[in-house]
Amino acid sequence: MLPSSIQISGEPLSGAEVRDICRGLRDNAVRLLSLRGCRLCDRDFGRICRALAGATSLAQLNLNLGVVSSPSRIKQLAEALRTNRSIQSLFLHGSPLTDAGLALLNPALALHPALVALDLGDCMLGDEAINLICGLLPPDGAKSGLKELTLSANPGITPKGWSRLAIAVAHSSQVRVLNLDYNPLGDHVAGMLAVAVASSRTLEVLDLEGTGLTNQSAQTLLDMVENYPTALRSLVLAENSISPELQQQICDLLSEGEEEEEVAGGAGDTQEWERGREPAAHQRGSGSWMCPSDPSSQMVLMTSGLGDSLLAETEM
């Protein structure tokens, strides 16, 4: 039987559903497990963690929107990740981890042999968490590390923390997607990020939506794109105080670079990534994300193939 996916959203999980999930994980019949916003007791959460610890087919795990809701659950997840060797994408968006919680998870994340995508958006993180995250972005050639990192909506991180992240990205040979939307970055941090982008050989997508930028930042980014060859293909600047003209100039330059790569035959080598991060539906004036409800809360079983585009590169 080919691995399938289980997706449940915004509903309480019954005992029967938990048993089915655990059985699928133990039988290595699940490739993607998404329990986004689901409600379950601590005992059932522990049962799922014990099952996923030994799962060898599970590649993507989505526990967004508060499923990992306490220190005890963080510890259980960390214990599972210490044993698991197959998960390549982990999404914890909207979980109240805090720096202390990430410290509990970090040893398992740092030693995991397959993890390439991590979503820690809206997880109440601060500068101490950034110090840990930088360890997941090793310098060139040191070891494998993250290729996609989401840190959206973590306003507790200070400019000092962002500067440390920018340095890590500049020296990482693997980060391709960096989502920092809805953080109060400002022009100073944007300038540091521009230097990181210019230094990176791999960063293709940078999301700075709603980060308090002005035309000053846009001009710096424009100069960077115009004068320095980079791998950047997408730069999101929506919901900032930046003129449409500057945004269009940057977009045009990035498009020109992509067209040149297509002519050279390089565009066909790029893999499209399946992403499990939460939609950027942030409500102005609020410190939290506004995530639309799913139209259906039924368990969905689909045949193998969902997420293959995300995993293709690491399985080569």
Q: The domain 132-261 is classified under which CATH number: 3.30.1330.90, 3.80.10.10, 3.30.565.10, 3.30.420.40?
A: 3.80.10.10
Average pLDDT over residues 200-218: 97
Structure tokens at 35: 């329990």
Q: Please state, in angstroms and rounded to a whole number, the distance separating the CA atoms of residues 129 and 161.
A: 9
- Number of Cα atoms under 13 Å in the Cβ half of residue 290: 6
Which 8-state DSSP code applies to residue 269?
A: G
CATH 3.80.10.10 boundaries in the chain = 1-124, 132-261
Quote the CA–CA distance of 87 and 219 in Å, as a whole number: 40
Element (H, E) at 134: helix 127-134
Specify the pairing of strand 117-119 against strand 177-179: unpaired
Q: Domain 1-124 carries which CATH code?
A: 3.80.10.10
pLDDT in tens, 46-105: 999 999 999 999 999 999 999 999 999 999 999 999 999 999 999 999 999 999 999 999
Which range is most confident: 35-44, 225-234, 251-260? 35-44
Residue 5's pLDDT band, with cuts at 50, 70 and 90, is: very high
Residues 6+ apart with CB under 8 A from 205: 176, 177, 178, 179, 232, 233, 234, 236
- Give the pLDDT of residue 138: 83
Least confident range from 122-136, 201-215, 300-314: namely 300-314
List 147's β-bridge partners, or say none: none
User: Partners of 117 in the beta sheet?
Assistant: 89, 148
pLDDT above 70 (res 296):
no
pTM, full prediction = 0.84
Phi-psi group of 41: left, alpha or beta (phi > 0 → left; psi -120 to 50 → alpha; rest → beta)? beta
Q: How many CB atoms lie within 10 A of CB 12?
A: 11
Assign 91 to helix, strand or coil: strand
pLDDT band at 142 (very low <50, low <70, confident <90, very high): low
Non-local (6+) Cβ contacts of 222 within 8 A are 246, 249, 250, 253
Separation between Cα atoms, residue 227 and residue 250, nearest integer Å:
12
The amino acid occupying position 25 is L
Beta strands in the chain, from DSSP E residues, in sequence order:
4-9, 30-36, 60-62, 89-91, 117-119, 148-150, 177-179, 205-207, 234-236, 300-302
Residue type (1 letter), 222? L
Q: Could you tell me if 186 and 156 are in contact, meaning their C-beta atoms sit under 8 angstroms apart?
A: no
Among 103-107, 175-179, 277-281, 301-305, the range scoring the smallest mean pLDDT is 301-305
Residue-wise pLDDT for 147-204, tens only, equals: 999 999 999 999 999 999 999 999 887 999 999 999 999 999 999 999 999 999 999 9
